[in-house]
């Protein structure tokens, strides 16, 4: 399907998801345009993963509706138009790193393009791990393979849930830069969940700010920091101001700490 910049690709309308007595999402509406990079921040348990899983067709709504390219998300998923990276990597244990990266393309009926897959792994610092199995790799390396796999799939929409959670700080920045490069070179739409406000501002065109109990959107911030953004961008006053503004919104909406484990 051909898209134009500005067309809504992800449309979430009054989405409510309830798990027994937990209102994980309370009437959440969100529209993401073609080519947009939207980041989602919020406290633990505010429904970020539930939102992403709903957009990925992995969680049924209690009420409301999700559309991807105008269709239920399951259609986009089946057509290989949705790439998904979760907090834990979900690699196939019986396949090597390279085979993991090419396999989703094969499943989607596309040329596996092993040469390009190998290049991507090398660029992600995994040149020595191309033929290794997940059990031979660290958690962070597996996570990087999963990110490379999602980018190699070539899906027009990418859903990423804390994809850098297991990475050390420098690798985290390197992977963020490579996701940004790959996004800039394509017309890909990205919905990206993170706990890190600086990461949300570094990556996003817009930052969706959520609060918990019940899970809901409390602010939508257009990021005014110009692109291209790189490591040094994080040292600029404009960047610091935007991060501070979002942290203020998070603090204002923080629920009273009634849970001893929080």
Ligand X SMILES: Nc1ncnc2c1ncn2[C@@H]1O[C@H](COP(=O)(O)OP(=O)(O)OP(=O)(O)O)[C@@H](O)[C@H]1O
Give the residues lining the site for ligand X (CB under 6 A).
Answer: 19, 22, 24, 42, 44-50, 215
Sequence-distant (6+) residues with CB within 8 A of 168 are 140
**Residue nearer to ligand X on the CB measure, 49 or 242:** 49
Q: Is the peptide bond before 260 cis (omega within 30 degrees of 0)?
A: no
Q: What Rg do the C-alpha atoms of the chain give, in angstroms?
A: 18
Sequence-distant (6+) residues with CB within 8 A of 177 are 230, 231
Q: Which two tokens stand for residue 78?
A: 């089946």
User: C-beta of 50: minimal distance to ligand X in Å?
Assistant: 3
Choose among 22, 215, 198: nearest CA to 207.
Answer: 198
**Residue nearer to ligand X on the CB measure, 97 or 158:** 158
**Residue nearer to ligand X on the CB measure, 42 or 134:** 42
User: C-beta of 133: minimal distance to ligand X in Å?
Assistant: 27
User: C-beta of 176: minimal distance to ligand X in Å?
Assistant: 18
User: C-beta of 77: minimal distance to ligand X in Å?
Assistant: 19
User: C-beta of 75: minimal distance to ligand X in Å?
Assistant: 23
Q: Which two tokens stand for residue 184?
A: 């800039």
**Residue nearer to ligand X on the CB measure, 66 or 137:** 66
CA distances from residue 130 to 96, 112, 174 in whole angstroms, order as listed:
7, 15, 18
**Residue nearer to ligand X on the CB measure, 50 or 189:** 50
8, burial (CB in 10 Å: exposed 0-12, middle 13-18, buried 19+)? middle
**Residue nearer to ligand X on the CB measure, 48 or 105:** 48
User: C-beta of 104: minimal distance to ligand X in Å?
Assistant: 23
Q: How, if at all, do strands 206-211 and 216-222 pair?
A: antiparallel
């Amino acid at each position: 399907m051909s898209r134009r910049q500005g067309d809504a690709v992800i449309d979430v309308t009054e989405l409510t998801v309830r798990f027994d007595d937990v209102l994980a999402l309370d009437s959440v509406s969100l529209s993401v345009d073609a080519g947009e990079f939207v980041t989602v921040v919020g406290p633990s348990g505010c429904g970020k993963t539930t939102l992403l899983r709903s957009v990925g067709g992995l969680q049924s709504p209690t009420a409301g509706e999700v559309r991807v390219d105008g269709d239920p998300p399951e259609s986009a998923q089946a057509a290989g138009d949705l790439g998904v990276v979760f907090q834990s990597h979900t690699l196939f244990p019986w396949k090597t790193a390279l085979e993991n990266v090419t396999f989703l393309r094969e499943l989607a009926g596309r040329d596996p393009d092993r040469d390009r897959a190998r290049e991507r792994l090398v660029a992600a610092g995994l040149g020595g791990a191309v033929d290794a199995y997940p059990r031979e790799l660290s958690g962070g390396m597996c996570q990087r393979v999963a990110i490379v796999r999602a980018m190699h799939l070539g899906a027009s929409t990418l859903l990423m849930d804390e994809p850098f959670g297991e990475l050390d700080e420098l690798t985290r920045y390197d992977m963020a830069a490579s996701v940004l490069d790959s996004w800039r070179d394509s017309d890909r739409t990205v919905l990206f969940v993170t706990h890190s406000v600086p990461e949300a501002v570094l990556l996003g065109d817009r930052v969706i700010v959520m609060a918990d109990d019940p899970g809901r959107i409390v602010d939508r911030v257009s990021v005014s920091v110009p692109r291209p953004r790189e490591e040094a961008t994080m040292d600029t006053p404009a960047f610091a101001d935007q991060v501070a503004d979002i942290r203020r919104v998070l603090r204002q909406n923080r629920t009273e700490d009634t849970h001893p484990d929080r």
